[in-house]
């Protein structure tokens, strides 16, 4: 059901761990839902210089955590903020339809961590859209 790309990313995830001196931290999900992601960001001059994660969840959740933390390395905060679920899916070569919602976890966690950084710096948190789906509404995984 998963592509080889997803299995590879899940079997050898990158950026697993924590940053004790993180500038931004985000956590989304809950154990009862079956997935939780925690993300730690190191930020210098408005750019993400390091990102680590810990995820409890299925292969899709772990693979999308891994790929998303790689994608945002070197991005400015506003670039990372606009990382969409659809871009994560693309990087994974797609997910089976019932699994698409698992990939919402990573972009959500990144936004929570960015706002954590902003608040720590005394800045206004950016407004999180209720929707992190970057594709068109017709293909939204939460629609069903």
Partner 1 sequence: MNDQVERPVYMDHAATTFMKPEVVAAMVPYLSEYFGNPSSLYRFSREPREGIEAARRQVAVAIGATPQEIFFTAGGTEADNWAIKGVALANRARGNHIVTSAIEHHAVLHTCEWLEKQGFSVTYLPVDGFGRVDPGDVEAAITDATILVSVMTANNEIGTVQPVAEIGRVAHDHGVLFHTDAVQAIGAVPIDVDVMNVDLLSLSGHKFYGPKGTGALYIRRGTRIETLIHGGGQEQRRRAGTENVPGIVGLGRAIELATADIAGHNRRIAAMRDRLVRGVLDAIPDARLNGHPTERLANNANFSFRYVEGESILLLLDGRGIAASTGSACSSGSLDPSHVLLAIGLSHEEAHGSLRLTLGDANTEDDVDYILEVLPEVIGRLRDISPLTPPSPGAPEAE
Question: Order of strands, edge to edge, in the sheet holding 35-44?
Answer: 24-30, 35-44, 47-56
**50 near partner 1 (CB under 8 A):** no
Query: Minimum distance from CB of 95 to partner 1 (Å)?
Result: 12
Interface size with partner 1, residues (CB under 8 A):
27
Contacts (CB under 8 A) with partner 1, residues 62-91: 62
Query: Minimum distance from CB of 57 to partner 1 (Å)?
Result: 5
Is 33 known to be catalytic?
yes
**116 near partner 1 (CB under 8 A):** no
Q: Which residue has the tokens 């970057």?
A: 134
Q: State which residue, 31 or 122, has the beta carbon closest to partner 1.
A: 31
One symbol per residue from 15 to 34: x for binding partner 1 (CB under 8 A), - otherwise; what is it?
-x----------x---xxxx
Give per-residue burial for 47-74: e unless 16+ CB within 10 Å, then b.
ebebbbbebebebbbbbbbbbbbebbbe
Q: State which residue, 34 or 74, has the beta carbon closest to partner 1.
A: 34
For 18, list phi and psi in degrees, rounded to 5: -135, 160
Closest CA to 106 of 144, 70, 143, 138: 70
Residues that are catalytic = 33, 102
């Amino acid at each position: 059901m998963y592509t080889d790309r997803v299995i590879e990313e899940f079997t050898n995830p990158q950026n697993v761990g924590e940053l004790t001196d993180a500038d931004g931290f985000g956590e989304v999900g809950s154990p009862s839902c079956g997935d939780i992601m925690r993300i730690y960001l190191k930020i210098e001059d408005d750019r993400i210089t390091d990102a680590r994660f810990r995820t409890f969840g299925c292969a899709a959740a772990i693979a999308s955590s891994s790929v998303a933390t790689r994608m945002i390395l070197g991005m400015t905060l506003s670039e990372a903020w606009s990382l969409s679920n659809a871009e994560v899916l693309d990087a994974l070569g797609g997910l089976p339809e019932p699994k698409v919602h698992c990939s919402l976890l990573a972009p959500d966690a990144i936004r929570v961590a960015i706002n954590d950084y902003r608040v720590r710096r005394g800045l206004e948190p950016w407004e999180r859209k209720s929707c992190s789906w970057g594709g068109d509404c017709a293909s939204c995984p939460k629609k069903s």
